Amino acid sequence: MNNSTSQHFILGNDYLNIYCIDINNHKDQYFTIGENKSKKYAFPLEKREITVIRQVKKVNKEKILTYQVIEAQISRELTLEMKEYIIKILFQSRKAFASDNEPLGAIKGHKVDIMLDVERPYPPPLRRPAYPDSPRTRKALENDINELIKLGVFINV
């Protein structure tokens, strides 16, 4: 920031997430650069305050219908009333779907059981012998799994 002319930056949730910027006034506020989340850079002590400004917009139904639903391919066999009813239900339930702010959707507490077993049907076996991952690959995989656990996608059993 010493050679920067700006003192303030406005960042969206995607940038906060990608660059791992900690906005939760924890003991150590930090950020990362690029995809290397293991190397963390601390904010200067005199500028440890990160102000979170939340922009609140009134949801405009017409805007959603114009820009988002127009890309949806609703069956041509449905009547106009049926299509309008579907759009109304989608609009009322919009928080349940993934969006820019909620990439995994906003349904809390919904769990999906994924059974991993060796029963049929299963894909044909690979024709190469198993080999251990490199330490670098193993560390990256461990970081990805921990991130999915933090997001609530995976649950430790």
The structural domain count of the chain equals 2
Report if residue 119 sits inside a domain: yes
Q: What is the pLDDT of residues 65-97, one digit of tens each?
A: 556 666 677 788 888 888 888 878 877 877 776
* Amino acid of residue 38: S
Q: What is the pLDDT of residues 92-138, one digit of tens each?
A: 877 776 666 665 555 566 666 666 666 666 666 655 566 677 888 88
Q: For the chain, first and last CA: distance in Å?
A: 44
**Do 46 and 34 lie in a common domain?**
yes
Q: Give the domain extent around 30.
A: 1-56
Report if residue 7 sits inside a domain: yes
Report if residue 152 sits inside a domain: no
